[in-house]
A and B are shown apart, each in its own frame.
Chain A
Amino acid sequence: MNPAPEIATATAAADGMLPEVWRVDRVRRETHDTFTLELGPERPGSERAFEPGQFNMLYVFGVGEVPISISGDPRRRDRVVHTTRAVGRVTNVMSGLKTGGRIGLRGPYGTPWPVAAAQGRDVVLVAGGIGLAPLRPALYAILHRRNDFRNVVLLYGTRSPGDILFRQELERWRARFDLDVHVTVDRGAPSWKGNVGVVTTLVQKAPFDPRNAVAFICGPEVMIRFTAAELQRRGVPLDDVHISMERNMKCGIGLCGHCQLAGVFVCRDGPVFPYSRVADLVTQWEV
C-alpha cells in the first residue's frame, strides 16, 4: 500500500493554488457543444479586473481544474464570463452546472491581447471555432473606445452554420457601419447563404492596411499557422501578429511545467504571444 501522502505546510495566504468559491449566476447553451457560464463571487469583495485575453483556472468539485479564457466584457468587474466547449472530463461536468451551483476560481492569469498598442491602427481579429471566445473581450474593449482605432475587422470561421458562436451578437456587430464582420463555414447547409471555406480565405480581401494593422488570432494551431502565413503574404509584419496559445496546464502559474513550449511557459509568458516569438516553435512538430 502506498504511504499516506504528506500534508502541505503552506499557509493559505501564500498559496497561489487555492481557489476561491464563485457562484454560477447563469448558464447559457451557445451551440450543441458550447456553453457560457456567468459567475459571481460568493465572498463580496472578490471582484477582480481582468484584461482581454487572460484566463482563469476553473475547478469543478471532485473532477478537476482547467484553464479557460475569459469571454466577457472587461468593464464588468462584478461577474466573470467563460465560454467553452464540453470536450473533456472537466468541461463536460462543467456544462451540467446549474444556476446557483458553485465553482472554484483562480486568476486571472496570463498575458493580454495588446489592445492599447493597436490604437491608431487597423485591427484584424481572426477567430476559428471556440477561438472567438477569448477574442470577444478584446472586441468589447475596442468597440468601447471605437474612435481610438481605424478599421476594425472580425474574420470568423467555424465548421458548420450550427457551430457559429454568439450568433445574435455577431449579427448585431455585422449591422454596424464601423465594423467589418465576415463569417465563413467549412461545410455549408441548405439554409446557409454565406461564405464557405476556411477562414484564411477571408484574409486576402479583408479591408485593412497591412503596413498599419495589428492582428489577433485565436483558434486551432493549424488555423493559426495558416492565418499568420496569409497575413504575412499580405505584408503584415509578424511582430504585429499576436496569437493565443493553448497547452495542458495544471497550475496556470508556472509551477507544474506542463505548458512548456521550449523555453516558454505558455501560462506565464502567454497565452498571448507576438507571433514572431513563437513562430519557430509552432511550425515544428511535437515541440
Chain B
Amino acid sequence: MARPEIFFPAVSWIRLGGLMPGPGAIAPRPAALAAALLAQADLERLIQLLARDHRVIAPVVRDGAVVCDEIRTAGEIAFGAVTEQAPARYRMTMPGDHAARWPTGPPATPWKRVLHPSELTIWRAVRRDGRLVFEPIDSGPPRRLALVGVRPCDLAAIGRLDAPLRDGPWPDAAYAARRRGMFVLAVQCTEPCGTCFCASMGTGPDAGPGADLVLTELDGAGPARSLLEARTTAGAAMVVALGAAEAPEDAADEAHLAVDRARARMGRALDTSQLPARLLAHFEHPRWETVAKKCLTCGNCTFACPTCFCTTVEDRLDLAGETAARLRRWDTCFSVDFSYMHGGSVRLSPRSRYRQWLTHKLATWHEQFGTSGCVGCGRCITWCPVGIDITLEAAAVADTAPRTGPTRRTGAHP
C-alpha cells in the first residue's frame, strides 16, 4: 500500500530540523491486511474476543496513575486519562472532554512488568537426608498474553527486550514462555507527552513492527471513532470476527495525518546521528561528574525503563532449612553491589554508574544488539526524583568536540 503524500513533508521537516529520525521513522509502515472503523462498543467486543483465550493486559487507572494490569472488560481501560509528564513530575487528570480517548503517553509502569516480572521464583532446591534435588517450577502452559493499548515506544521496547531475553543462545525461559503466542494491539500516538522523544529514536509516534492490530484515534465531531488496521493474520482474523464497519478510504490518510501532527509536537528531542561514537569518545567528560552530583543512584530510571533487563538472584530458605526458593528480581546498575567482585566493586563512583547506564542505553546496546536500548518513552525523565533528563545529559556529552584521548590508568598501553 502506497503511503499518503502528506507523510513526506513532515519527515523532511524533521530532517531539516536536524533531528534525524532512526530508520524506523522513515521506513514505510507495514501494510494493513485488513482495516475497520471501530466504534467504542466494538472495542468491548474485541476485549471479550481476546479474553476467551488470553490474559488481557491494558492500561488502567491505579493510585492516580496509569499502569498496566489485567482487565476483564473494556470499561476498565483508563479511557479519558491525561497525563502531564515533565522531569520529576507526573500528574494524571480526567478532563471530561477527553472521556473516550486512550490515556495519553506511555503508562507509568513499563510493560516489562508483565513479560519480565520484577520478582520471580525460578526454581527450588530441596535438601533432605544429605541429598539435593532441584525442582523446576512449572505451572503448566501459561495463558497466552494479549497486550492492549501498547504505545509505539513500548511496542519497540518489547522488540529490544526480545534480543537479550529471547533471541540469544540461552533464552530466558520465563520471558520466552510469556512472549510465545502473545497478541498485541498497539495504539498510535496523536498526543505526545512532555517527556516523549520517540520521534528522535525512530520508534514512534507511528507503530513499527510487532503489533497484530494497530489502532489510531480519529479526530472529528460526533462519537469517538478509531481506525483499526491488522498487521498480522491473527490481527486480520480478529477484524473479521469483530465484523466492524469497513474503514472508508480516507480513514488511513486521516490517521497518518493525526500521527504526523504528533511527531511535530514531541516534548523532547535527541540528535541520534553517530550518537554511540559521539558518546563513547567522551568517557572522561566532566559532565558525568556534574550529573553524578545530582543523581541519587536510586535506580528508579532503570525500573521505569521499558528495556532495562538486568536481574539478580537470591535464595529464600524455609524455616526448616530444607527448601531454598531461588528468587530472581530486577537489579540496577546504579547499585554499588551490581559490579561487586571479591575485593570491591568495579563501578564505585556514582559518576561511573550513571555513565554505565546512559552509555549502555544509547551506545553499547548498538554493539550488543544492533539497535539503541532507548525507545524515547521518557519514563526515566518523568520518574527520576531529581528530574535528570537523559536527552540533555546525552547531548551535553555527545555535542562536545572530541578530546585527544581518555585518561588511562597505570598499566596503560601507548
Contacts and interface: CB of A to CB of B under 8 A. Distances in A.
A7 B120 contact: yes
A68 B360 CA distance: 26
B310 interface: yes
A120 interface: no
A250 B130 contact: no
A63 B132 contact: no
B325 to A, nearest CB: 8
A179 to B, nearest CB: 28
Contact of B314 (A10, A64, A229): A64
Interface in B303-361: 309-315, 317, 321, 324, 326-329, 331, 333, 338-343, 346-349, 351-352, 356, 359-360
Nearest to B412: A283
Interface stretch (A14-22, A44-52, A69-77, A157-165): A14-22
B132 A260 contact: no
Contacts of A9: 137-142, 174, 177-178
Interface in B123-143: 123, 125, 127, 130-134, 136-142
A16 B343 CA distance: 29
Contact of A254 (B164, B313, B364): B164
A82 to B, nearest CB: 16
B168 A222 contact: no
Q: Name, among B127, B136, B348, the residue most crowded by chain A CB atoms within 10 Å (CB to CB).
A: B136
B311 A255 contact: yes
A87 B342 contact: yes
B173 A63 contact: no
Given A59-B125, A248-B339, A6 B119 contact: yes
A199 B177 CA distance: 50
Interface residues of A, number: 61
B407 interface: yes
Interface of B: 117, 119-123, 125, 127, 130-134, 136-142, 164-165, 168-174, 176-178, 280, 283-284, 309-315, 317, 321, 324, 326-329, 331, 333, 338-343, 346-349, 351-352, 356, 359-360, 364, 366-368, 406-413
* Top-8 shortest CB links A-B: A225-B411, A10-B173, A263-B367, A12-B136, A257-B310, A286-B352, A102-B132, A5-B119
Interface of A: 2, 5-12, 14-21, 59, 61-65, 85, 87-88, 100-104, 222, 224-226, 228-229, 232, 238, 246-248, 250-251, 253-258, 260, 262-263, 265, 268, 279, 283-287
Given A8-B174, A250-B311, 5 more contacts: A247-B341, A255-B164, A256-B331, A262-B280, A286-B351
